Amino acid sequence: MTHHSATSADLAADTPRTTPRVTVIGTGYLGATHAACLAELGYDVLGLDTDPAKVADLAAGRLPFYEPGLAELVERHTATGRLRFTTDPAEAAEFADLHFVCVGTPQRRDSMAADTSHVEAAVASLVPHLRRDALLVGKSTVPVGTAAGLQALADEAAPADVRVGVAWNPEFLREGRAVDDTLRPDRIVVGVTDPLHEKVLRELYAPVVDTGVPFLVTDLATSELVKVAANAFLATKISFANAIAELCDAAGGDVVALTDAIGHDARIGHQFLSAGLGFGGGCLPKDIRALMARAGELGVDEALTFLREVDAVNMRRRSRTVALAVEECGGSVLGRRIAVLGAAFKPGTDDVRDSPALNVAAQLQLQGAHVRVHDPRANATAARTFPTLGYADTVEEAVTGADLVLHLTEWEEFRALDPAALEPARRVVVDARNALDARRWADAGWRVRGLGRPAVGPVPVTP
Ligand SMILES: NC(=O)c1ccc[n+]([C@@H]2O[C@H](COP(=O)([O-])OP(=O)(O)OC[C@H]3O[C@@H](n4cnc5c(N)ncnc54)[C@H](O)[C@@H]3O)[C@@H](O)[C@H]2O)c1
Ligand SMILES: O=c1ccn([C@@H]2O[C@H](COP(=O)(O)OP(=O)(O)O[C@H]3O[C@H](CO)[C@@H](O)[C@H](O)[C@H]3O)[C@@H](O)[C@H]2O)c(=O)[nH]1
């Protein structure tokens, strides 16, 4: 069977669709998920990445990171050959006429801005190999204006007689729920400059849109901004709850009861209102900083100065947790044994990018504590980033003999622990995610310190 590609030219001519082929450039958390989910929807997919080790893993059907439900999809679709991987841009250019760009846009080392060099490199490596008209669809989170810049780059790099379009299709998936968020998203947003590009994408996403998912079409700049605005709003909501937690600490209130009470107002809602150690990960922290930086470049930095406070409130959660640990150790953690439960930036993932848990663990180690970290999934990724921290294979190994326990990532496993069965030197836990059942722990003889809520349980003697 000759494969047919989902090109704008084909669709313009109303050519019937056979098995459309797509490539996904950048096969990290976002790209691997997108590629596997497109295969699940019935497309022939080729993933392209510059990292040969990652490509070798994926090509062998192995997911190089943890994401619930994704390993099964990768294994199944690589086995049938519907999902393949390469490091060769020429192969990708030949394979399809629709290319999704999913490479990273990390924070630059020298400023708060996003580093768009990987996106530019991805386009520059593919486009010269194109021999037919093609559509590049960006999914990476980028500063507004990037797509227009990439169009200019593509126009310049394209061989004569090859027309390359650029569209934007921001991604809203959450790690830990990436497969479900991709196959059943709240909405699909596409930014286009040409109705044909809209048609190509509408057709590609038909299996999803036909289930009732809103398909929202806008211009390039708006689509880029939708993504960063959504993340800025989510970050603001979390920091709002954490700012109120600071107030609760000062006044003796309980932020958990408070956010529950305000969340009942449907205009506010309960989601993303959990006060605690704050947000980390590969998205929210870098995205609010990149948005502030871009606003500055556009001369409207004042519009977003509040995001500086959102960031500052968030970073204070980490120092507040360290301070609580020091307080509970009688003024210094020097020589203290501290068990850290959690390393991932949130439960459900092994991702430790900008992990608040590891940041706290590292700060305590710097102050002279003997830190033992246990995470159900992220010990290995954490050890690669922070090799000098101690790691334990089990909760018991981390906690036994500890002077203090810190609960920093709210895995279900930790919530289900039997506090009576643990054997630390002192029964004190700092629940920086406000997620443990404090009453149950107190009943088992533990003193429980939350963030933004009163301490519960007995006060043990500090040796
Ligand atoms: N992780 C998420 O939950 C998520 C969700 C929505 C949006 N995003 C956005 O998606 C983008 C990717 O994020 P991620 O978390 O998947 O990052 P990641 O670091 O896990 O993956 C990026 C991948 O791109 C590859 N790469 C870099 N340069 C390349 C090039 N020139 N050609 C081909 N491959 C290249 C890297 O080797 C890596 O495998 C970012 O812009 C991010 O903000 C991420
Ligand atoms: O009430 C809350 C909710 C979350 N968090 C923390 O916020 C961070 C981010 O959580 P979440 O948003 O669930 O994780 P991500 O996978 O980073 O997803 C965000 O970033 C992605 C990349 O841009 C977007 O696609 C998603 O829509 C957006 O939710 C984590 O550290 C959480 O612990 C809180 O502290 N309190």
Residue nearest to atom 32 of ligand 1 (CA): 122
Query: For residue 379, how many C-alpha atoms fall within 13 Å in the half-sphere facing its CB?
Result: 14
d(CA 259, CA 393): 35
**Complex-level ipTM:** 0.99
- Provide the pLDDT for residue 19: 67
Q: How confident is the model at residue 459 (pLDDT cuts 50, 70, 90)?
A: confident
Task: Provide mean pLDDT across the span 280-300.
Answer: 98
Q: Is 248 among the catalytic positions?
A: no
C-beta of 237 in contact with ligand 2 (< 6 A): no
- Provide the pLDDT for residue 46: 98
Per-residue pLDDT tens over the stretch 122-134: 999 999 999 999 9
401-415 b/e (C-beta count within 10 Å ≥ 16 → b): ebbbbbbbbbbeebe
Query: Ligand 1 centroid vs 256 CA: distance in angstroms?
Result: 35
Residues with Cβ within 6 A of ligand 1? 25-31, 48-51, 54, 102-105, 118, 121-122, 125, 140-141, 171, 173, 175, 282-283
Task: Provide mean pLDDT across the span 131-157.
Answer: 98
Task: Provide mean pLDDT across the span 178-207.
Answer: 98
- Provide the pLDDT for residue 17: 43
What is the strand order of the sheet 188-191 is part of? 83-86, 44-48, 21-25, 98-101, 134-138, 164-168, 188-191, 215-218
Per-residue pLDDT tens over the stretch 328-381: 999 999 999 999 999 999 999 999 999 999 999 999 999 999 999 999 999 999
- Provide the pLDDT for residue 461: 67
